[in-house]
Amino acid sequence: MSVNVRTMNCRPEDVFAVLADGWVFPTWVVGASRMRSVDDAWPAVGSVLHHSFGVWPAVIDDTTTVLEWDPPRRMVIQPSGWPVGEARVTVEAKPRGDGCVVRIAETAVKGPGSWIPGPLLDIPLHWRNVETLRRLAFIAEGRSD
């Protein structure tokens, strides 16, 4: 499991406002390239984002399903991008001073990605999620009061 942590200059509520806006998903998630549709119920448990990942012409349609939604503390989602497989991603935010600490944990749970030994898979996931948290911080901090 790859775990990344970042301190942000905003409240956990600001972070979860970004997570609740399904249409900005490709803006902060590294690899997501476009949105195709957002369920009206997003981010309720069981709701789905329909997006794509990759760079044209090698773009793969993907979906991400909400498994847990407990704002402004915790969100668990399951992206499903076959033939790569499925992952489980947990985003947690905790207040710290005038800001917050955001933690993202990601692990492969189904398909070819889950066959890769954890320490090897953690290398690209860690790098990707450093940038993912950086982008999430730009949006959440930019929207904060």
User: Mind listing the pLDDT tens digit for each residue in 15-47?
Assistant: 999 999 999 999 999 989 999 999 999 999 999
- CATH number of the structural domain 2-143: 3.30.530.20
Task: List, in order, residues 6 or more apart from 84 with CB less than 8 Å away.
Answer: 60, 111, 112, 113
pLDDT tens by residue, 81-136: 777 789 999 999 999 999 999 999 999 999 888 888 888 888 999 999 999 999 99
- pLDDT bucket at 58, cuts 50 / 70 / 90: confident
* Distance between start and end Cα atoms, the chain: 34
- Residue at token pair 């005038």: 98
* Residue 34 amino acid letter: R
- pLDDT value of position 116: 85
| DSSP helix/strand/coil, 43 | coil
- Domain locations along the chain: 2-143
Mean pLDDT of the region 58-74: 96
